[in-house]
């Protein structure tokens, strides 16, 4: 393995990709007069402009996928994967990560100000579709002057965006890397997602989506949504290994506080989440996942079957949110369409969040795949 | 390159769609892509071989040949390969049937348990070890010990017709003994089959 290191200090950029003269028309109807995108790039675009890798983030991710923001102690969310000498090697590749449409970390979303009313969109923001994310990603790509990506890549919701993109515009990329994703949520997946939305929307502070104007927050609902979702991101073994039945430092009081270490951990997760995420973004983005079902279209694989692109699919053995069966479903559709596909089920006991972790077998597979695409 | 690989390379048609079950590090598929311009896809369960195939640029999926072949649909390939793996799967009969759903042609090779040296070794009271069966009994991945005669009987019962057949010497070289000698003279054999 080559020496790996961190990217060091990185910063974000902002760009407007749709304007009133050139609005974004959404797949499920409606339009947006203004769309701003926050993104980061790492590494250098080569002269042939063919070494770009586009990273799509998961439900609550952001544009900051690697390196450190000035003064920050924690690196970007995929620092295990992206950096000098890492699988997405910034010494060789030019890496682009935007914040997603509908998000809340710099890209236009439902909590953004509607230029027409001067107030935040709230629930007037149009309903989103996986294809809308792709439309905005493609705009950013052309803004950066790139006509063909070496790879598109993402985990979980990120992988779902990559799948939609690869099916709709395979000519945009040489390869696609789809990790711990799904092509169709199960009833159980939708159920978890529904409870999270209910917790948020039933919180009085949500104020029917007008909390920005009303000066309230749906913090109770958001905390519950995050705590519950976090349970689905880890496996039972991961919880046992991390916390067991350890008491919190103050000991077991037999009261109803955060007596066990796992309770305190979930509370901490909820608190940090409130600082960085928005309630409307959560309900809009999670809803897109519920409806995503690209293979329902019998012609979904026609285009990708005609373009010689390689796909890497990876799943994790203990992932019960998007189990290996979800990845195998995608695999079946792709191989039947004649798409050259590589699939790896990584042995891991860490659950869905494995895709963010430094698991050697997993990182080696991604590194080997990208290495070949570049040569 | 293994000698039976060059035979297979000769048999596979230019530009065909090839699925290799148990493709190892992808050597054969890579050759087929380079020399015969085939559209290739591999299946390999072993983690080390799997990543070696990825390093060669071969598309390779980590799947269980016994359980997951349905995924490939019907007639989605022109030829399916199974090289020296049939004796190591759980249900060789089901795997053969599944292969000939995926493609009209299957190319299959298998070591011959009936090879004379194996017979001698068994007569001496020990489990056979030879070039084609190179494992100690306790560490062998092989779970079925059929001879070529047994294999051909299975083909017959599954209604599979042999289009081509080459016995292989333990060196892997094609041999041209009369067919009647194969069950004791050949270390292994290579067959091209289609469903009747």
Task: Give one DSSP letter per residue of A88-124, joined into a string.
Answer: EETTT-EEEEEPPTT-SSSS--TTSBPTTTSSB-GGG
Cβ–Cβ below 8 Å for B55 and A338: no
What pTM did the predictor assign? 0.95
Kindly list the structural domains of chain B, giving each domain's residue range(s) and its CATH number in brackets, ordered by start.
3-195 (3.40.50.150)
Residues of B in contact with A342 (CB under 8 A): 54, 59-61
Best interface-test mutation with B: which of A343, A348, A362 has the largest number of B CBs within 10 A? Answer: A343
Partner residue facing B60 (CB), from A336, A342, A371: A342
Helices (H), chain A: 130-143, 157-168, 187-201, 211-214, 219-233, 236-242, 261-276, 279-291, 302-306, 324-336, 360-374
Residue range B93-107, pLDDT digits in tens: 999 999 999 999 999
CATH superfamily of A13-186+293-374: Alpha/Beta hydrolase fold, catalytic domain (3.40.50.1820)
Partner residue facing A336 (CB), from B39, B54, B76: B76
Domains A13-186+293-374 and A189-287 share a fold: no
With 90 as the cut, is the pLDDT of residue A257 above it? no
Cβ–Cβ below 8 Å for A372 and B55: yes
With 60 as the cut, is the pLDDT of residue A2 above it? no
| C-alpha distance from A361 to closest chain B C-alpha (Å) | 9
Which residue is it, tokens 């949110």? A321
Distances from the Cα of B136 to the Cαs of A106, A262, B46, in angstroms? Answer: 63, 49, 19
Cβ–Cβ below 8 Å for B71 and A368: no
CA-to-CA distance for B152 and B168, rounded, in angstroms?
A: 15
- pLDDT bucket at A1, cuts 50 / 70 / 90: very low
How many other β-carbons are positioned within 10 Å of the β-carbon of residue A167? 27
Q: Where are the domains of chain A?
A: 13-186+293-374, 189-287
**Torsion angle, alpha carbons of B161, B166, B169, B171, to 10:** -110
Which of A86-90, A122-126, B50-54, B136-140 is least confident? B136-140
Q: Find residue B106's DSSP bridge partners.
A: B80, B193
The three-state secondary structure class of B94 is: helix
Residue range A313-353, pLDDT digits in tens: 999 999 999 999 999 999 999 999 999 999 999 999 999 99
Residue A232 tokens, joined? 């689905």
| C-alpha distance from A339 to closest chain B C-alpha (Å) | 9
Q: What is the CATH number of domain A189-287?
A: 1.10.1740.110
Residue A88 and residue A55 in contact, taking contact as beta carbons nearer than 8 Å: yes
| C-alpha distance from A189 to closest chain B C-alpha (Å) | 23
CA-to-CA distance for B68 and A211, rounded, in angstroms?
A: 50
CA-to-CA distance for A96 and B187, rounded, in angstroms?
A: 55
Residue range B65-86, pLDDT digits in tens: 999 999 999 999 999 999 988 9
pLDDT at B177: 75
Active site residues of A: 156, 319, 352
């Amino acid at each position: 393995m080559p020496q790996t290191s961190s990217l060091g200090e990185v910063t974000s950029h902002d760009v407007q990709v749709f304007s009133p003269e050139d609005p974004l028309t959404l797949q499920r109807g409606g339009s947006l007069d203004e769309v701003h995108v926050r993104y980061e790039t790492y590494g250098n675009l080569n002269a042939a402009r063919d070494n770009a890798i586009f990273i799509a983030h998961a439900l609550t991710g952001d544009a900051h996928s690697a390196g450190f923001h000035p003064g920050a102690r924690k690196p970007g969310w995929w620092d295990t994967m992206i950096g000098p000498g890492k699988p997405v090697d910034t010494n060789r590749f030019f890496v682009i990560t935007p914040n997603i449409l509908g998000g809340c970390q710099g890209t236009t979303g439902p909590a953004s100000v509607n230029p027409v009313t001067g107030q935040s969109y709230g629930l007037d923001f149009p309903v989103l579709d996986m294809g809308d994310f792709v439309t905005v990603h493609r705009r950013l790509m052309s803004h950066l002057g790139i006509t063909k990506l070496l790879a598109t890549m993402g985990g979980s919701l990120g992988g779902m965006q990559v799948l939609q993109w690869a099916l709709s515009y395979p000519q945009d990329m040489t390869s696609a890397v789809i990790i711990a994703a799904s092509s169709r949520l199960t009833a159980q997946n939708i159920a978890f997602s529904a409870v999270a939305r209910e917790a948020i929307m039933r919180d009085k502070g949500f104020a029917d989506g007008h909390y920005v104007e009303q000066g309230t927050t749906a913090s109770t609902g958001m905390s519950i949504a995050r705590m519950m979702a976090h349970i689905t991101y880890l496996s039972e073994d991961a919880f046992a290994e991390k916390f067991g039945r350890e008491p919190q430092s103050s000991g077991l009081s037999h009261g109803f506080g955060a007596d066990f270490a796992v309770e305190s951990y979930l509370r901490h997760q909820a608190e940090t989440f409130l600082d960085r995420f928005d309630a409307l973004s959560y309900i809009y983005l999670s809803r897109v996942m519920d409806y995503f079902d690209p293979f329902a279209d019998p012609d979904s694989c026609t285009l990708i079957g005609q373009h010689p692109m390689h796909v890497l699919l990876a799943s994790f053995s203990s992932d019960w949110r998007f189990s290996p069966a979800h990845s195998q479903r995608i695999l079946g559709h792709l191989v039947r369409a004649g798409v050259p596909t590589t699939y790896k089920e990584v042995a891991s006991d860490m659950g869905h969040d494995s895709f963010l972790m430094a698991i050697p077998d997993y990182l080696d597979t991604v590194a080997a795949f990208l290495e070949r695409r570049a040569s | 390159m293994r000698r039976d690989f060059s035979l297979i390379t000769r048999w596979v048609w230019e530009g065909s769609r090839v699925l290799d079950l148990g493709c190892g590090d992808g050597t054969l598929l890579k050759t087929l892509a380079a020399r015969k311009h085939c559209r290739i896809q591999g299946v390999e369960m072993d983690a080390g071989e799997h990543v070696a195939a990825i390093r060669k640029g071969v598309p390779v999926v980590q799947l269980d040949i016994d359980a997951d072949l349905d995924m490939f649909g019907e007639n989605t390939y022109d030829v399916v390969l199974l090289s020296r793996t049939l004796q190591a799967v759980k249900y060789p009969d089901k795997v053969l049937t599944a292969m000939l759903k995926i493609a009209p042609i299957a190319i299959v090779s298998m070591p011959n348990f009936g090879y004379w040296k194996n017979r001698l070794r068994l007569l001496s009271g020990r489990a056979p070890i030879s070039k084609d069966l190179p494992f100690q009994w306790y560490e062998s991945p092989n779970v079925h010990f059929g001879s070529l005669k047994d294999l051909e009987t299975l083909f017959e019962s599954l209604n599979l017709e042999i289009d081509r057949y080459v016995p292989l010497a333990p060196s892997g070289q094609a041999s041209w003994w009369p067919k009647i000698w194969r069950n004791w003279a050949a270390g292994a054999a290579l067959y091209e089959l289609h469903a009747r």
